[in-house]
Chains A and B, each alone.
Chain A
């Protein structure tokens, strides 16, 4: 026993935070491998780094998912927890890391950008996201959020010669600091109200204590603003298009999937643990506390209702007018965050399950689309516009087919995983009685299919405008893309397994805390 009042041992540390430890060791080793590894060919160096990074992610992933987590030793020293929910979202983030590191090998070769520390920063970013998801302590959540953000800020600036990349990274950094400051202020107010940083204890204190005065609303609003910034919901989305367009394509895909997954995971955890009334021992909700914490939902739900609506409409409508496909995908990523916030709004078990399911599906199809995008691009920014995509279906049949498949999935057409994901999200919203929002959301899906299908139209129905030479298509890149395409089809046709796992994961939120 240390004098913190928590029992703590090395074996527990390894059991609960083993995935994080693996990533920390891997990044410390890889940063020196990058330094001392000498190869004749720079692209070999990058390939070694990429494979080692992917291997570290896979080892951490295997460590996280290979075992059943016993419930009694699930919280480590009041800081980290390893319940199935955070393991699930961490697994999504690790998968995104595997895709990102493997696709980056091809990306770096095409762009002649041979920098080994890129992969180490990617490791740090994934580590930060996982630590944030596993944390049950507000301070740890913030520290991990900053580890993640700082790594991603520098990754966004990795195209040194591109003004867009530099501009995007600076915007992301400045606005991101602003968002983090809001989040931190929210944490500070919550601590001021409850006197604890542990999310379970916050729920206990808020359930019994007097919190009717408006400071708890200010705290909640600030926490939400900070997280909505990372999710790029609409009034907080201004940075997203520029950053997503300027960053290296793989990093864009990573930001749009893993960073968002982290923010959605933390939001779900905070909302369903810290700001949900604790049931009293008899299993019946304590009348007084339910009234109080129920009142909280009366305040934040209408806000999220409007944000979800605005996000879906603005994201999709602005995407229609984009000529640059990467920028279009950036706006589409904003719109997808809008769909996912339907699940947050529903705040029932179906909603949480749908968000988790959609995070997996969205990670797969987004990495697929950006993977094809950077291949067609060749060197960053050479062939990104819709004009460049004209007639590519005959010149590059495989790439065009894959891109069409990923875009159809994003549009949510039936045989693909995107359809199932959207179905569950809208079903959850409807079950909770948000009929108008669900109807309007489905309308935005129709708008979305216009600009997704327009790309497919350009591929197959128009004559080429100019000669477009795709970048070097390596075996690894193609392998990853085919795996992603198979994933999109598999979860579209046989979603039951993933739905079951997502359901178990979301149940653990209610069971553990």
Chain B
């Protein structure tokens, strides 16, 4: 049991040391002459147009939340579909269980739509 954790600890140590060493060595061995041009963000070679941090509409966030509803639905229905035949003695219970689950998620979707989550104006 200890060896399992030991391996993980070793892996962590190696990755920290390895990455650290690479950074330090490139800094120590390579030439380092910064100029303002070199410090700018690389934008396909053309001069910089604007700051990288754009503000975008909060609507995207709501779309992401709506997507999550369907996403979670898929994630939970798939394993059920795969195991369904092996749980045949219990199939109706499982069917209703997943039905209740979908109904709850559907309620969330209806709520979000009624609140105006997909009213784009």
User: Is A192 a contact partner of B5 (Cβ separation < 8 A)?
Assistant: yes
- Contacting residues, chain A, for B107 (C-beta < 8 A): 28, 31-32
Bound form: Cα–Cα A2–B1 in Å: 31
Bound form: Cα–Cα A269–B86 in Å: 36
- B48 adjacent to chain A (CB < 8 Å): no
The majority secondary structure among interface residues of chain B is helix
A186 to chain B, nearest CB (A): 14
- Which of B2, B87, B90, B114 sits near A35, CB closer than 8 Å? B114
Residue-by-residue, is A28-50 near B (CB-CB < 8 Å gives 1, otherwise 0)?
A: 10011001000000000000000
User: Is A32 a contact partner of B87 (Cβ separation < 8 A)?
Assistant: no
- Contacting residues, chain B, for A3 (C-beta < 8 A): 86-87
Q: Closest residue of chain B to A10, judged by CB?
A: B93
- Contacting residues, chain B, for A2 (C-beta < 8 A): 87, 90
How many residues of chain A get a CB closer than 8 Å to chain B's CBs?
10
Bound form: Cα–Cα A2–B80 in Å: 13
User: Is A213 a contact partner of B2 (Cβ separation < 8 A)?
Assistant: yes
User: Is A215 a contact partner of B111 (Cβ separation < 8 A)?
Assistant: no
Q: Which of B84-120 contact A (CB under 8 A)?
A: 86-87, 90, 104, 107, 111, 114-115
How many residues of chain B get a CB closer than 8 Å to chain A's CBs?
12
B89 to chain A, nearest CB (A): 9
- Contacting residues, chain A, for B5 (C-beta < 8 A): 192, 215
A17 to chain B, nearest CB (A): 14
Bound form: Cα–Cα A28–B106 in Å: 11
B5 to chain A, nearest CB (A): 6
- Which of A35, A192, A213 sits near B111, CB closer than 8 Å? A35
B27 to chain A, nearest CB (A): 31
Q: Which of B3-19 contact A (CB under 8 A)?
A: 4-5
Bound form: Cα–Cα A212–B2 in Å: 11
A59 to chain B, nearest CB (A): 20
A491 to chain B, nearest CB (A): 40
User: Is B90 a contact partner of A32 (Cβ separation < 8 A)?
Assistant: no
Query: Which residues on A are within 8 Å of B, measured CB to CB?
Result: 2-3, 28, 31-32, 35, 192-193, 213, 215
Give the top 5 A-B pairs by smallest Cβ distance, nearest first. A35-B114, A213-B2, A31-B111, A28-B107, A215-B5
